Amino acid sequence: MHSSITKKLAITLLAWAIALVVFFPIFWMILTGFKTEGEAVATPPSLFFEPTLSGYHEVMARADYVKFAINSVVVSLGSTLLALLIAVPAAYSMAFLPTPRTRGTLLWMLSTKMLPPVGVLMPIYLLFRDLGLLDSLSGLIVIYMLMNLPIVVWMLYTFFKDVPKDILEAGRMDGAGTLQEVLYLLVPLTLPGIASTGLLSVILSWNEAFWSLNLTTSSAAPLTAFIASFSSPEGLFWAKLSAASTMAIAPILILGWMTQKQMVRGLTFGAVK
């Protein structure tokens, strides 16, 4: 009895400790954003200081946050919608009309995620240049869609696999064509799964930095490029950089916070029956 309480206490403390260690850098970054440049680099770091918005003012003055933010929103949502549009039919055929090669195809799709993106930077860059997609929102949407497609197909495939085949067959007996089967039966039945897949795709697109830094310069640059623009060769301005980073991650952090229940449910869907 006693030992079990001690054990529980120890585990709880450990969990809190790990959580704090993981969260600390973000916490510190948010804190630094409210400091002056002097306080930001002070040693020992000052924990108690008078918060100031000067970092934020300077950031806003130097760059058009709203424009970057809109680009991020457009690119994240656009690439996610496009990925879902392609992945739903793909996952449908893999889940309900499998061939002997379906498993292999799925694994191959996932294996493309193991490839370091920098390995294909050159061909992609040249392709984008020749197609006139450099520094364009549509180009970024396409590359993010391709980046997330394997994961989106995989997740939808596992959700679709859980739908009893009988239900779709009953729909077919009732006169539903493939499109109606998907729209009236499959999608409503797997909506929680589709939603969490979409959320994950939005988050991954929002956070992506490699492609956005290499394929955009100004007009299509999303918030990741916005952050990067504050680490300049003239030296790091920690307070401004922190303020910019906080502004860049705040929307997605809030979105993640609000939808975490949905996310966890979606990601463990099918694992627990």
Using rule CB under 8 A, residue 179 touches another protein: no
The token duo for 176 is 């539903």
Q: How far is the CB of 86 from another protein (least distance, A)?
A: 24
Q: How far is the CB of 167 from another protein (least distance, A)?
A: 5
Q: Of 99 and 111, which CB lies nearer to another protein in the complex structure?
A: 99
CB 211 within 8 A of CB 117: yes
What CA–CA distances, in Å, run from 28 to 31, 41, 178, 237?
5, 12, 52, 15
Using rule CB under 8 A, residue 171 touches another protein: yes
Choose the stretch contacting another protein; rule: CB under 8 A; options: 36-44, 82-90, 167-175, 257-265: 167-175
Using rule CB under 8 A, residue 184 touches another protein: yes
Contact pattern for another protein over residues 187 through 226, marking x by CB under 8 A? -xx-------------------------------------
Among 82, 87, 155, 185, binds another protein (CB under 8 A): 185
Q: How far is the CB of 82 from another protein (least distance, A)?
A: 26
Using rule CB under 8 A, residue 172 touches another protein: yes
Choose the stretch contacting another protein; rule: CB under 8 A; options: 59-67, 87-95, 149-157, 174-182: 174-182
Footprint on residues 43-82 left by another protein (CB under 8 A): none
Among 176, 195, 255, 267, binds another protein (CB under 8 A): 176
Q: Give the separation between CA 88 and CA 110, rounded to whole angstroms.
A: 16
Cα four-point dihedral sign 79, 85, 86, 90:
positive
Q: How far is the CB of 195 from another protein (least distance, A)?
A: 14
Using rule CB under 8 A, residue 162 touches another protein: no
Choose the stretch contacting another protein; rule: CB under 8 A; options: 140-148, 159-167, 197-205, 211-219: 159-167
Among 9, 107, 167, 183, binds another protein (CB under 8 A): 167
User: DSSP letters along the chain, please?
Assistant: -HHHHHHHHHHHHHHHHHHHHHHHHHHHHHHHHTS-HHHHT-SSPPSS----SHHHHHHHHHS-HHHHHHHHHHHHHHHHHHHHHHHHHHHHHHHHS--TTHHHHHHHHHHGGGS-GGGGHHHHHHHHHHHT-TT-HHHHHHHHHHHHHHHHHHHHHHHHHTS-HHHHHHHHHTT--HHHIIIIIIHHHTHHHHHHHHHHHHHHHHH--HHHHHH-SSTT--HHHHHHTTEETTEE-HHHHHHHHHHHHHHHHHHHHHTHHHHHHHHHBTTB-
Using rule CB under 8 A, residue 97 touches another protein: no
Using rule CB under 8 A, residue 180 touches another protein: yes
Q: How far is the CB of 88 from another protein (least distance, A)?
A: 17
Residues that bind another protein (CB under 8 A): 164, 166-167, 169-176, 180, 184-185, 188-189
